[in-house]
Amino acid sequence: MRQVILDTETTGLNPATGDRIIEIGCVEMVGRRLTDRTFHYYINPERDIDAGAFAVHGLSREFLSDKPIFANIVDQLIEFVDGAEIVIHNAAFDLGFLDNEFALLKRPPFRGLAAKITDTLLDARQMFPGKRNSLDALCERFAISNQHRTLHGALLDAQLLAEVYVAMTRGQEDLSIDLIDYTVGTDSSGQIKPLPTDLKLLLATAEDCQLHEKVLAEIAKASKKDPVWSPSLVAL
């Protein structure tokens, strides 16, 4: 499955009152791995930018004045996303703006290009009810570095969202581990094949054990409570 992770920046909050897209960024994933294909444009909205929006993304009308208008990049956008699953954080917001831009050009809605639309905000709210689920909060929750994100940027946010999406959907958010079928198999006569005899056994060195104990002690100190591997709890 080909996936496109997408984000936009806008002049304000409401396309119905004339707000427009001023930046769009997309990254491509195939088989849950990022490819080297990206799509990124700053866009001239031909209108002023709300002060609140400028505080979020820092994109001024002056900076955008020599950038292409949306009509000049729409065909490239269609080519990049057509037929892919599109992953967006708070999809209703971005899709509302994209559908509006397509409507202004008398084109069918943007969302019709997608094989599927995944909203990571809705998914996060189901996974973490009652918690903050902004992109920054999810980066923190999944230990994804976003220190370079001082302002919102469509391409940067799409790249961060790709990491968040993979973390959210990897199916290992607790300490349980799926059982693995270690059956060796049978030969042509139906007899079970013997286990290989040339397996190497690697034992931890004394230094490895000391480093391991040090890490466990640091985790226990940071958690400020008895860890589950504490001898007193293991004895229970």
Q: Of 145, 147, 121, nearest to 135 (Cα)?
A: 121
Tokens of 178: 């799926």
Please, are residues 8 and 154 in contact by the beta-carbon 8 Å criterion? yes
Q: Is 148 a catalytic residue?
A: no
Q: Identity (one letter) of the amino acid at 211?
A: L
Which member of 57, 89, 152, 212 is catalytic? 152
Tokens of 189: 């006569």
Q: Terminal CA-to-CA distance of the chain, rounded, Å?
A: 47
DSSP per position, 40-97:
EEE---SS---HHHHHHH---HHHHTTSPPGGGTHHHHHHHHTTSEEEETTHHHHHHH
Tokens of 53: 């929006």
Measuring CA to CA, how many Å separate 187 from each of 148, 161, 181, 183? 56, 47, 17, 12
- CB-side exposure of 121: number of CA atoms within 13 Å? 12
Enzyme catalytic residues? 152
